[in-house]
């Protein structure tokens, strides 16, 4: 038996006095089973996420779509609940007070704090997507009209310019902004088209309606910091509580990383330098698979400089581009063929808007729920640690 387990048993014996823990051996077996289950459930949950139908985007929950992200956050919430049960429920504080678990938990809670900031940043990113949705809705309502005349085209063109500059925002542009708020300048760029009447640039800047985390805060750096001290448990640790702490940390890092990649977020340069999860873990297989997929997409994205990998955003961007082409070449009356094409695009754009309308608010609420859950768990773990510490010298 590894040394740590000896120690664990020893402390376990001591703890009987305090918590009246039932027969230690049975307890330990139960614990091993819990750990096993936690790993398996984690693996299963992520595997479900990866098994999306191939014929997306029109069926089910396409990869990185809003509904998929909601599932992803759900998975995190589930894992978190189970993790808490494994770690805290019926736990004797003395068990988690011994090294290296005490240090691992402190690292874990530091990660949890970073998750909170990321939740807030992502939530404000959702607000800015909602602004894009509003702009896209203008485009839809203008181009849905029949006949499509100059007025409709100009109106949509104006909204499209704003939309496209919001969508193709380059992270770097905003990094060095003097102010904390992310300024989504829109309007002037590429908006001088659409007939002899000069499109009015919507001056002023379009920022996400909610505020960003803080000056100089960087989502990418936070994620890097979260994985900086994330080490695979070795030796005796690998069968003990160090294992679920490690798994949960990875799950948190991955989900945060995916959210930051998908949704506009404050300062993301360097996001692609991602963390390594050793391949030997069964629970990690799907995560690694998704990580690779998102990583590739992100590299493409960084070149293009788009707002995020969110499936709806990507499609919106493509549609926006083609509608801009249509608008720029528009002459009244438009050819029937073109109009049909446009009608199809507008219908798709309307469908995206609808998805956003239905999905963004729940996603945001879910992220907020995650926020509260993490705060709560952190407090509970801290209480457990404090209790352990407080009780020790007195016993």
Indicate whether 89 belongs to the interface with another protein (CB under 8 A).
Answer: no
- The count of C-alpha atoms lying within 13 angstroms of the C-alpha of 225, restricted to the half-sphere facing its C-beta, is 16
DSSP letter string over 306-344?
Answer: -S---HHHHHHHHHHHHHHHHHHT--SSPPHHHHHHHHH
Residue 163 tokens, joined: 């939309």
199, 193 contact by CB (below 8 A):
yes
For the bound state, the minimum distance from the C-beta of residue 290 to another protein, rounded and expressed in Å, comes to 26
Closer residue to another protein in complex, CB, 209/276: 209
Closer residue to another protein in complex, CB, 213/309: 213
**306/164 Cα distance (integer angstroms):** 9
The footprint of another protein on residues 158-177 (CB under 8 A) is 158-159
The footprint of another protein on residues 208-247 (CB under 8 A) is 209-215, 217, 222
* 98 exposure class (CB count in 10 Å sphere: 0-12, 13-18, 19+): middle
Among 141, 238, 269, 272, binds another protein (CB under 8 A): 141
Indicate whether 102 belongs to the interface with another protein (CB under 8 A).
Answer: no
**353/358 Cα distance (integer angstroms):** 8
The footprint of another protein on residues 270-309 (CB under 8 A) is none
Indicate whether 91 belongs to the interface with another protein (CB under 8 A).
Answer: no
Among 55, 147, 178, 280, binds another protein (CB under 8 A): 147
What Å distances lie between residue 6 and 28, 35, 92, 100, 102, CA to CA? 12, 18, 16, 14, 17
Indicate whether 387 belongs to the interface with another protein (CB under 8 A).
Answer: yes
Closer residue to another protein in complex, CB, 128/306: 128
Q: Which residues bind another protein (CB under 8 A)?
A: 110, 113-114, 116-117, 120, 123-124, 127, 131, 134-135, 137-138, 141, 145-152, 154-155, 158-159, 179-181, 197-200, 202-207, 209-215, 217, 222, 332-333, 365, 368, 372, 375, 378-379, 386-387, 390-391, 393-394
């Amino acid at each position: 038996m590894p040394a740590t387990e000896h120690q664990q048993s020893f402390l376990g014996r001591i703890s009987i006095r305090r918590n009246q823990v039932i027969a230690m051996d049975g307890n330990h077996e139960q614990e091993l089973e819990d750990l096993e289950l936690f790993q398996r459930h984690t693996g299963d949950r992520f595997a479900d996420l990866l098994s999306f139908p191939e014929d997306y985007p029109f069926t089910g929950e396409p990869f990185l779509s809003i509904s998929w992200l909601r599932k992803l956050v759900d998975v995190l919430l589930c894992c978190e609940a189970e993790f808490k049960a494994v770690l805290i429920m019926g736990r004797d504080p003395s068990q988690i007070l011994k090294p290296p678990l005490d240090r691992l938990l402190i690292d874990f809670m530091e990660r949890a704090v970073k998750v909170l900031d990321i939740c807030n940043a992502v939530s404000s990113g959702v607000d800015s997507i909602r602004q894009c949705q509003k702009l896209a809705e203008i485009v839809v309502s203008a181009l849905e009209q029949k006949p499509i005349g100059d007025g409709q085209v100009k109106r949509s063109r104006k909204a499209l310019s704003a939309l496209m500059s919001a969508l193709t925002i380059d992270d770097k542009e905003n990094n060095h902004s003097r102010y904390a708020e992310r300024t989504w300048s829109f309007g002037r760029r590429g908006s001088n088209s659409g007939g002899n009447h000069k499109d009015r640039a919507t001056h002023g800047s379009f920022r996400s309606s909610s505020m960003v985390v803080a000056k100089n805060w960087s989502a990418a750096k936070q994620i890097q910091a979260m994985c900086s001290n994330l080490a695979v448990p070795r030796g005796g640790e690998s069968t003990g509580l160090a294992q679920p702490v490690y798994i949960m940390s990875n799950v948190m890092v991955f989900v945060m990383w995916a959210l930051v990649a998908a949704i506009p977020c404050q300062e993301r340069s360097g996001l692609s330098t991602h963390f390594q999860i050793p391949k030997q873990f069964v629970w990690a297989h799907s995560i690694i698979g998704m990580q690779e997929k998102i990583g590739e997409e992100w590299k493409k994205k960084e070149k293009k400089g788009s707002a995020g990998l969110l499936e709806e955003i990507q499609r919106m961007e493509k549609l926006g581009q083609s509608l801009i082409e249509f608008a720029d070449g528009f002459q009244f009356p438009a050819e029937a063929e073109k109009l049909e094409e446009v009608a199809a695009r507008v219908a798709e754009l309307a469908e995206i808007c609808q998805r956003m309308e239905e999905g963004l608010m729940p996603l945001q609420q879910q992220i907020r729920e995650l926020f509260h859950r993490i705060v709560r768990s952190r407090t509970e773990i801290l209480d457990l640690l404090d209790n352990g510490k407080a009780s020790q010298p007195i016993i």
